[in-house]
Amino acid sequence: MTKRTTILSAGIAAGAVAAGLVGGALWRRRPTGADATWAPPPEDLGPIEAFDGTKLAVRAAGPADAPLLLFSHGFSLDMTTWREQWSDLGDEFLCVALDHRAHGRSEVPVTGDVTLRSMGRDLATVLDAVAPEKRAVLIGHSMGAMAILAMAEQRPDLVGERVAGLALLGASASDLLRGAMGGVTHLLRPRLGSVTAAARRVDRLRKAILAGPGDVSAIVARVTQFAPEASDDVVNHVLHLAERTSSLVWADGLSELIGMDFRHALSRITVPALVAVGDQDRVTPPAVAVELAAALPEGRLFIVEGAGHIAMLERPEQLNPELRSLARGAMGLGKGRGRRGRK
């Protein structure tokens, strides 16, 4: 593959980011000694068995008797991407995070089921297993936010009764092609083919570019996923996670994200809902967040300045106070004793 061909392929794959990290998987990660700083939350609550027997990794930080926050990560990532949240908010809340099926430390389903609706059922299972009597605020990023919408669609009884509020970061309820693929959609979706075939083409491109020049893949990753000020540590970690994600997730999981539509479920979400988006998010642009917030009965928009698609790691000092305020308000807490964000 020539460098020119690699660059062209990188451009196509960069446009195929679907609520997660095509660009991320293209980064050739430089060796670092910082892995220990990306450890998951300290308390192991798992494995928790899903409806189909898949074992889910679940961990927690914070006082066991505190109000509950449940974190749901994005496509091709894992629970460690919530590091800046559980380490800050864990002074006031019990912060519980899971690795979604076929991600991180959770099992790959025997059936290969990586649908959003199954992930939504997994969230309900974790909520029931961890705190059957507690109300909670659910916080999701990208694919993880869409899994929350899938849970609300399938288990509307939980919303309000058990789920006191939601935070949806870098999210969309439908038409992901518009925000994530933009003008290159026609290059990925065959005229007579399917979104699954398109997603498999993306996975093949991902593997080809990984074998190409590292400088090209690094540029693609930064341009598509992050604001310019994102630290090397954050970029390296996020893209390392995406790089090691299986082809099952890239093919079936990506096609699921492309085809999903949960707009019909939004009117059922009658609890406070924070919709946050980076002002430089190229995956789910601010216009998508504006539309989502307007469609939610109690939606509120928050623009994270100087952030791309990974706002919770790029600008936690802006996002965390909003999450704390949402949780306190949704669960009827006072100002509390929580400390200010670390950064």
Instruction: Give the Cα-Cα-Cα angle 49, 54, 57 (nearest 5 degrees).
Output: 65
Residue 130, pLDDT > 70, answer: yes
CA distance linking residue 268 with residue 53, whole number of Å:
29
Q: Say if residue 292's pLDDT is above 80.
A: yes
pLDDT at 232: 86
pLDDT category, 220, cuts 50, 70, 90? low
The pTM of the full predicted model, rounded to 2 decimals, is 0.85
Strand, helix or coil for residue 127: helix
The region of weakest confidence among 55-59, 89-93, 125-129, 337-341 is 337-341
Q: What integer pLDDT is reported at residue 198 of this predicted model?
A: 57
The DSSP letter of residue 326 is H
Tell which wins on pLDDT, 280 or 244: 280
If one compares 179 and 27, the residue with the highest pLDDT of the two is 179
pLDDT of 80 > 70? The answer is: yes
pLDDT of 339 above 70: no
Tell me if 234 sits within 8 A of 310, measured CB to CB: yes
Rounded-to-integer distance, Cα 38 and Cα 80, Å: 6
What is the band of 288 on the pLDDT scale with cuts at 50, 70, 90?
very high
Mean pLDDT score, 157-177: 90
pLDDT of res. 207: 54
Q: Average pLDDT, stretch 248-269?
A: 86
**Overall average pLDDT of the 78-98 stretch:** 98
pLDDT-based confidence at 192, cuts 50/70/90?
very low
| pLDDT of 279 strictly over 70 | yes
* pLDDT (0 to 100) of residue 131: 92
Higher pLDDT, 301 or 228: 301
Distance separating alpha carbons of residues 343 and 84, to the nearest angstrom? 9
66/33 Cα distance (integer angstroms)? 34
Q: What is the mean pLDDT of residues 202-227?
A: 61
Does a cis peptide bond (omega within 30 degrees of 0) precede residue 47?
yes
Please state, rounded to an integer, the average pLDDT across all residues of the chain.
Answer: 82
Give the confidence band of 341 by pLDDT, cuts at 50, 70, 90: very low
% helix, strand, coil for the chain, step of 5: 50, 15, 40
Of 4-8, 126-130, 213-217, least confident by mean pLDDT is 4-8
Percent above pLDDT 90 for the chain = 61
Q: What is the pLDDT of residue 1?
A: 44
| pLDDT band for position 343 (cuts 50, 70, 90) | very low
Percent of the chain with pLDDT over 70: 73
- Asked whether 338 and 324 are in contact (CB, 8 A), the reply is yes
What pLDDT score does 4 carry?
Answer: 40
Measured between alpha carbons, how far is 75 from 242 in angstroms, rounded to an integer? 8
User: Which pLDDT value is given to residue 191?
Assistant: 45
Mean pLDDT of 77-91: 98
Query: Which pair of tokens denotes residue 253?
Result: 């999981």
**With 60 as the cut, is the pLDDT of residue 273 above it?**
yes
**Who wins on pLDDT, 133 or 340?**
133
